[in-house]
Amino acid sequence: MDPLGIKGTFLFTPVVHGDQRGSFHEWFRGDSLRSLTGHGLNLAQANCSVSSRGVLRGLHFADVPPGQAKYVTCLRGAIVDVVVDVRVGSPTFGQWEAKRLDEENRRCLYIAEGIAHGFMALTDDATVVYLCSEPYAPGREHGVHPLDPAIGVAWPSDIEPLLSDKDADAPTLDEARRSGLLPDYQECLDYYAKLGLPT
List, by residue number, the catalytic residues.
60, 130
Burial annotation 4-18 (CB, 10 A radius, 16+ → b, else e): bebbbbbbbebeeee
Tally of CB atoms within 10 A around 39: 23
Rounded Cα distance, 84 and 86, in Å: 6
CA distance 112 to 189: 11
Amino acid at 81: D
DSSP assignment of 145-184? -TT-TTT-----TTS--B--HHHHTPPPHHHHHHTT-SPB
Distance CA 72, CA 75 (A): 10
Handedness of CA 15, 78, 62, 42 (dihedral sign): negative
User: What does R_g of the chain's alpha carbons equal in angstroms?
Assistant: 16
Q: How many CA atoms lie within 13 A of 68 on its CB side?
A: 25
